[in-house]
């Protein structure tokens, strides 16, 4: 199969989906009106609620939801063959992921920009909100704890990315103050910021930082996350994510043009069953690829930072639906990089000989960077330079997800404080400290010599996709209540519940059968399963009572 054909089908499919299905969802299902005031205007506080330019907010939202997910997931998801990965990323992102992200954003808009837990309370009752809050707290604390560990490892793997990554923070602060307070022209300021950002890459290549230990990086990252989560969005979050998104835009364009020029044949098999210790394709393909097709983390981002910065209701399609399709396009380029750009069939089989061999952080990134560098090199850029650029892109995006997600965890903790009338938690500084402590726990605490976060990471995939199912569940109840076509979210919701329940049950069974039982994994997975069943039952009962 030629890679250019795959890329063309994907591009045409996404464009049609955006202009046809996305428009249908915006106008007919959620009936968004440009004349309505958004929460960013109604509740503007200069910290969390602050209207952003459409292009700036797209950059923020895209940078938040993308991170490493659409790279790492597809880079291992192709182990089942390129065809299942291709089909899931194409159709999953159109009919599940983009619908999920956009619909959560739209429903949150209808509820004054409230976080997903408080939206759930208005639709399905207080108990549902409280259960959802627990799941969100666990998901964000665990995932960001592991992200801190991952970024500290990435800094050791790619030390040339450290100066550009942290230098971008300084550039963003200058841009934020210049545009929002000193009224510098936005376009000129943005161009200057992009040039400075690219210049930092060359400085990073010349002066890689190798002296700082991984543990010290963890403490530095936790301090940065705490600071970033309380600063006004206009000062750091908006300008940093906007500029950072250009790294990915350049990478996307470079890989896209490289595929057009080189149009290599896919060397990987369409269906692969030869890899050792390979999990079952169903349900684990749909859990593993995650952000490339659908991710529960996106519902937290849509109803968290993004909705509070939306300037116009009609922009929700571009931000919610469009950003997810762009992420799906990135995932598709990753699939091509690790199936057509990595080398011939023998090289591919060596790299994907088993789940254990291909599943580590370094093998997945290595496969992506090798394949993507080959594509970018077709533009006349040396492969070594392309590899450095891609490594900087990877490191920078990992940090972007960390600072946004810490703010989202802060929102969740503030929401918990309101639920239980713990007024001191509603202080954003206190909530931010608690968020960082929770993240630090999963990053630093060890059990049996192994990080607790890495031990429990086996549950992240299913918990993350479970959040997607629950987000679609809340939207479905909203659409039923409003007497609108709820099937657009009902069928994706049912599919994701089947996938995640099957994944959880298989994982619980494997934990029970294991000779070396890790009780924390078994206990937490059972709790998650029971909480989810309780939430669904409670939501249905509350919803029926409210409808009477």
Q: What is the pLDDT of residues 41-68, one digit of tens each?
A: 999 999 999 999 999 999 999 989 988 8
The string over 271-306, giving b where at least 16 C-beta atoms fall within 10 Å of a residue's C-beta and e elsewhere, is ebeebeebbebebbbbbbbbbbbbbbbbbbbbbbbb
Peptide bond between residue 283 and the one before it cis (omega within 30 degrees of 0)? yes
- Give the DSSP H/E element, type plus range, for residue 450: strand 450-451
pLDDT above 70: residue 302: yes
> CB–CB of 417/425 below 8 Å?
yes
Helix, strand or coil for residue 420? coil
User: Angle formed by the axes of helices 237-262 and 383-419, to 10°?
Assistant: 140
pLDDT above 80: residue 149: yes
> CB–CB of 404/245 below 8 Å?
no
Q: Which residues contact 351 (CB under 8 A, 6 or more apart)?
A: 342, 357, 358, 363, 367
Burial of 195 (0-12, 13-18, 19+ CB in 10 A): exposed
pLDDT above 90: residue 396: no
User: Angle formed by the axes of helices 281-288 and 487-513, to 10°?
Assistant: 110
Q: Which residues contact 190 (CB under 8 A, 6 or more apart)?
A: 175, 242, 243
Pairwise CA distance, residues 180 & 177, whole Å: 5
Pairwise CA distance, residues 47 & 11, whole Å: 37
| Residue 359: predicted pLDDT | 86
Which residue from 6, 47, 13, 21 is spatially nearest to 320, judged by alpha carbons? 21
The string over 319-338, giving b where at least 16 C-beta atoms fall within 10 Å of a residue's C-beta and e elsewhere, is bbbbbbbbbbbbbbbbbbbb
For 64, other C-beta atoms within 10 Å of its C-beta total 28
Pairwise CA distance, residues 412 & 133, whole Å: 7
Q: What percent of the chain has pLDDT over 70?
A: 99
| Residue 162: predicted pLDDT | 92
Main-chain phi, psi angles of 314, to 5 degrees: -70, -20
pLDDT above 70: residue 456: yes
Q: What Å distances lie between residue 213 and 79, 94, 159, 220, 450, CA to CA?
A: 33, 42, 11, 11, 18
For 94-112, how does the pLDDT look when each residue is reduced to its tens digit (9 = 90+)?
A: 999 999 999 999 999 999 9
Alpha-helical (H) ranges within 352-459 are: 355-358, 361-377, 383-419, 428-444, 452-456
Q: Compute the average pLDDT of residues 534-543.
A: 87
For 86-95, how does the pLDDT look when each residue is reduced to its tens digit (9 = 90+)?
A: 999 999 999 9
Q: Compute the average pLDDT of residues 467-484.
A: 94
| Residue 548: predicted pLDDT | 58
- Give the DSSP H/E element, type plus range, for residue 103: helix 98-109
User: Angle formed by the axes of helices 383-419 and 186-206, to 10°?
Assistant: 120
Q: Which residues pair with 276 in a beta bridge?
A: 354
Pairwise CA distance, residues 128 & 470, whole Å: 10
Q: How confident is the model at residue 547 (pLDDT cuts 50, 70, 90)?
A: low
pLDDT above 80: residue 301: yes
pLDDT above 90: residue 335: yes
pLDDT above 80: residue 135: yes
Label each residue of 181-241 as H, E or C: CCCCCHHHHHHHHHHHHHHHHHHHHHCCCCCCCHHHHHHHHHHHHHHHHHCCCCCCHHHHH
| Residue 388: predicted pLDDT | 87
| Residue 67: predicted pLDDT | 80
Which residue from 87, 506, 500 is spatially nearest to 280, judged by alpha carbons? 506
Mean pLDDT taken over the chain: 93
| Residue 546: predicted pLDDT | 66
Please indicate whether residue 286 or residue 449 has the higher confidence score (pLDDT): 286
Q: Which residues pair with 451 in a beta bridge?
A: 446
| Residue 482: predicted pLDDT | 93
Q: Which of 276-285, 442-451, 492-501, 525-534 has the lowest mean pLDDT?
A: 442-451
User: Angle formed by the axes of helices 322-339 and 237-262, to 10°?
Assistant: 40
Of 3.30.1420, 1.10.3470, 1.20.1740, 1.10.10, the CATH number of 3-547 is: 1.20.1740
Question: What is the reported pTM?
Answer: 0.94
Q: Count of alpha carbons within 13 Å of 56, Cβ hemisphere only? A: 25
């Amino acid at each position: 199969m030629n890679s250019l054909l795959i890329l063309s089908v994907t591009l045409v499919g996404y464009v049609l989906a955006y202009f046809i299905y996305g428009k249908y969802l915006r106008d007919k299902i959620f009936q968004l009106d440009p004349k309505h005031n958004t929460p960013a205007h109604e509740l503007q506080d200069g910290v969390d609620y602050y209207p952003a330019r459409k292009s700036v907010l797209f950059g923020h939202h895209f940078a938040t939801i993308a991170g490493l997910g659409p790279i790492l997931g597809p880079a291992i998801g192709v182990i089942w063959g390129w065809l299942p990965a291709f089909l899931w990323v194409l159709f999953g992102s159109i009919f599940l992921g983009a619908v999920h992200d956009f619909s959560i954003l739209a429903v949150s808009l209808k509820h004054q920009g409230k976080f997903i837990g408080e939206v759930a309370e208005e639709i399905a009752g207080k108990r549902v909100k409280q259960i959802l809050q627990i799941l969100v707290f666990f998901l964000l604390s665990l995932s960001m704890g592991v992200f801190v560990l991952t970024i500290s490892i990435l800094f050791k793997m790619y030390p040339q990315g450290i100066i550009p990554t942290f230098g971008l923070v300084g550039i963003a602060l200058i841009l934020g103050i210049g545009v929002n307070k000193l009224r510098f022209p936005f376009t000129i300021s943005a161009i200057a910021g992009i040039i400075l950002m690219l210049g930092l890459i060359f400085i990073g290549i010349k002066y890689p930082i190798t002296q700082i230990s991984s543990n010290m990086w963890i403490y530095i990252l936790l301090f940065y996350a705490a600071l970033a989560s309380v600063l006004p969005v206009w000062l750091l979050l908006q300008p940093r994510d906007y500029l950072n998104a250009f790294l990915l835009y350049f990478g996307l364009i470079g890989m896209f043009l490289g595929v057009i020029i080189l149009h290599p044949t896919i060397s990987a098999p369409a269906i692969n069953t030869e890899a050792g210790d390979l999990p079952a394709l169903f349900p684990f393909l749909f859990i593993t690829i995650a952000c490339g097709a659908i991710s529960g983390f996106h519902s937290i981002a849509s109803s968290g930072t993004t909705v509070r910065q939306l300037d116009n209701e009609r922009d929700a399609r571009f931000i919610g639906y469009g950003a997810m399709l762009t992420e799906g396009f990135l995932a598709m380029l990753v699939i091509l990089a690790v199936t057509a750009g990595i080398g011939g069939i023998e090289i591919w089989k060596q790299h994907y000989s088993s789940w254990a061999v291909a599943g580590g952080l370094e093998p997945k990134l290595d496969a992506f960077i090798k394949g993507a560098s080959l594509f970018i090199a077709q533009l006349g850029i040396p492969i070594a330079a392309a590899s450095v650029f891609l490594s900087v892109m990877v490191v920078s995006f990992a940090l972007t997800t960390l600072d946004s997600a810490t703010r989202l965890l802060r929102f969740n903790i503030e929401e918990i404080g309101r639920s239980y009338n713990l007024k001191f938690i509603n202080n954003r500084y206190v909530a931010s400290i608690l968020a960082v402590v929770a993240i630090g726990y999963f990053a630093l605490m060890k059990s049996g010599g192994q990080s607790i976060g890495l031990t429990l990471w086996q549950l992240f995939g299913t918990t993350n996709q479970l959040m997607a199912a629950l987000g679609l569940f809340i939207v479905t109840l909203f659409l039923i209540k409003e007497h609108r076509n709820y099937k657009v979210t009902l069928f994706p919701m049912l599919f994701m519940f089947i996938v995640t329940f099957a994944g959880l049950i298989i994982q619980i069974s494997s934990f029970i059968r294991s000779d070396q039982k890790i009780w924390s994994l078994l206990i937490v997975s059972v709790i998650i399963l029971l909480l989810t069943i309780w939430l669904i039952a409670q939501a249905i009962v509350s919803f029926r009572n409210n409808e009477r």
